[in-house]
Amino acid sequence: MSQDNTTVAAISWTGHGDGFLTLLDQTRLPEAVTYVNCDNVECVWQAIKKLAVRGAPAIGISAAYGVVLGVRDGAMLPSGAAAATVEEAKQAALAACDYLATSRPTAVNLFWALDRMRGVITTLDEPSSGRVGERLLAEAQAIHEADRLQCAAIGRHGSDLLEALGSGVGIVTHCNTGMLATGGDGTALAVLFALSERGMKPQVFADETRPLLQGARLTAWELMQRGVDVTLICDSMAAPILRDGKAKAVIVGADRITARGDTANKIGTYGLAVQAHYHKVPFYVAAPTTTFDLTITFGSDIPIEQRTPEEITNAFGRRTAPEDVQVDNPAFDVTPAELITGIITERGVISPVTEEAVRAMIGA
């Protein structure tokens, strides 16, 4: 299948406050480019939970739009009827915030976006329920646009940093961190796209990222659409690639970063960081400042989502393990700050990664 990446939008809104949200169904990639149209909160909740939309920034953006839908969603009110007054519209929107917050526990961008929407809701003084929807839509769109600009800045700062490694450098990445995961070009992939646009021709090794193969299905697809040299590898192949000098850097994204820099990201990231450290290869995290959670100091305090056993035993419609086998399927692991060479944000690069440096960059 060939699809021009510039025509594909992972998240889009159609209409005004009474419009609808369209999400690219990432569970269908790369076989098909299909979309889910959401006009109620439950649809957005299910899309987040079932990974039709995924990636910390994209989850937050989608949830913000979901709050807009909550204004007219009768399921958000005890009466079961759509809001008829401004107060009912605000009540419905707050209920949407609470419900969407239960979709996934680890990505802090989700809670950041919902808190921002709550802040708007509690200060609203609009003449009609329709105007409430318009005001919340403006806020959701502002969150979306801000993320697009953050992605571009991360790309610039990261490419400034990695350009020194030279043209054609090998770089390992894990999971998916591009436009499918954000409101712009991505985080880690934004850096690779920016390097490519500068003519540096990075040679990317994309971990397949088990068990749901986000690297194989999504990252390889995105890089190929943009003409970036990519080689798909099994997760267990990263170590010999680093050992043999085929890659001179590792760059990944993040779902939550603590005040000291401990980073929760897709399962397998911690092992990759250990391998990079052993082979003396720099290991970078790329993430917007909205991914930092300064209320948490240590990675051990980050809530880690547990996914269903079927994602391992029956992934993609075929049983690959004995029935009734015990399964442990955390969606994320935590990489300690000591293994991270630098964190690339839209404000610059945090290196070395310490609590003092993190707080100085984030401003708290």
- Pick out the residues of the known binding site for substrate: 54-56, 104, 214, 265-266
Residue 127: asked if its preceding bond is cis (omega within 30°), the reply is: no
Q: Which of 192, 168, 363 is nearest to 286 (CA)?
A: 192
CA distances from residue 99 to 46, 58, 70, 106 in whole angstroms, order as listed: 11, 17, 10, 15
Strand order across the beta sheet in which 256-258 lies: 292-293, 256-258, 263-266, 332-335
Handedness of CA 190, 191, 195, 196 (dihedral sign): negative
Q: Can 262 be counted among the known catalytic residues?
A: no
Cβ neighbors of 135 (< 8 A, separation 6 or more) are: 17, 120, 124, 126
As annotated, the binding site includes 54-56, 104, 214, 265-266
Q: Which of 51, 58, 42 is nearest to 109 (CA)?
A: 58
Catalytic residue, chosen from 73, 255, 293, 333, is: 255
State how far the Cα of 99 lies from the Cα of 294, in Å rounded to an integer: 24
Question: To which residue do tokens 């990664």 refer?
Answer: 353
Checking 73-78 for CB contacts under 8 A at 24+ apart, the result is: 73/40, 73/41, 73/42, 75/40, 75/41, 75/42, 76/41
State how far the Cα of 21 lies from the Cα of 44, in Å rounded to an integer: 8
Asked whether the beta carbons of 292 and 108 are under 8 A apart, the reply is yes
Supply the residues annotated as catalytic: 255
